[in-house]
A = this chain, B = another copy of it.
Amino acid sequence: MRFTSEQRLDDGVLERTFTLDGIPGVLWTPDPAPTHAPLVLLGQPGDLTRMYPRLAARARRVVADGYAAATLELPGCGDRPRSAASDAARADLRRAIQAGEPVPDEVVDRLVLPLVDLAVPEWRALVDAAVELPGIGGPAGLAGGNISIAVRLALVEPRIAAAVLFAGSRVPRAVLREARRLTVPLLMLLQWDDEGNDRQEALDLFDAFGSTEKTLHANMGGHTGVPEFEGDDGNRFFARHLR
């Protein structure tokens, strides 16, 4: 992890940008440095520059409760090289949605599975690098981002002890099968009228998770309308499982 910039935010948060094997990311830690801050990975849909304001707001809230927060640019997003196959799958997805047709499973597979396969090892490397830093330690939490990446990451990375999932995108059948094997405590957020998501599919996914402690929070509104208070609820969920 090579730090590329550092600034102290006015509310006791040290924000550092970094690259990790050439991939840009951001790390937020309590300032002054804590003795032991559990790490919370902040998922996002890609393009850190565009997402920065929302991520920084979320990070401040997480750090205020004594955690470290980190995020990493997704494959094919921001300045990272795009994939022609992903672009083609995304175009097929848009075509189906615009035509009002159901999105074929194979399109979801082509769009999401390569992203999951590439991203998950990168985020595991992020955990490796972050817990090497003084003051940061496991267990780690995972909050938001593409739900398929989150499910795979929570399944294969044993340091993830709890996950807040956002049911906001289509899930490949292979990931649905992986969801059944998840056992960590989960809090899944669902926007009831998410324009780009299928509500029943989200409820089926919630039902599928193997975790014995899982909670669904459904709120009114569209994809980007998650209420402010869910940030606090997420922090309390982490307080129950990461402390």
Contact = CB atoms under 8 A, between A and B. Distances in A.
Copies of the protein in its oligomer = 2
B219 A215 contact: yes
Nearest to A239: B229
B217 A216 contact: yes
A212 interface: yes
- Grouping DSSP codes into helix (H, G, I), strand (E, B) and loop, the A interface class, with mixed when no group exceeds half, is mixed
A163 to B, nearest CB: 15
A211 to B, nearest CB: 8
A206 B218 CA distance: 10
A61 B229 CA distance: 20
Nearest to A216: B218
Contacts of A203: 203
Interface string A146-184: 000000000000000000000000000000000000000
A170 B206 CA distance: 23
Interface residues of A, number: 19
A90 interface: no
Contacts of A87: none
Interface in A204-243: 206-207, 212-220, 227, 229, 232-233, 236, 240
Contact of A220 (B212, B233, B240): B212
A192 interface: yes
B218 A229 contact: no
Nearest to A206: B218
Given A214-B220, A217-B217, 10 more contacts: A203-B203, A215-B217, A215-B218, A215-B227, A216-B216, A216-B218, A216-B219, A218-B218, A229-B236, A229-B240
15 contacts: A192-B207, A192-B216, A203-B203, A206-B218, A212-B220, A214-B219, A214-B220, A215-B218, A215-B219, A216-B217, A216-B219, A217-B217, A229-B240, A232-B236, A233-B233
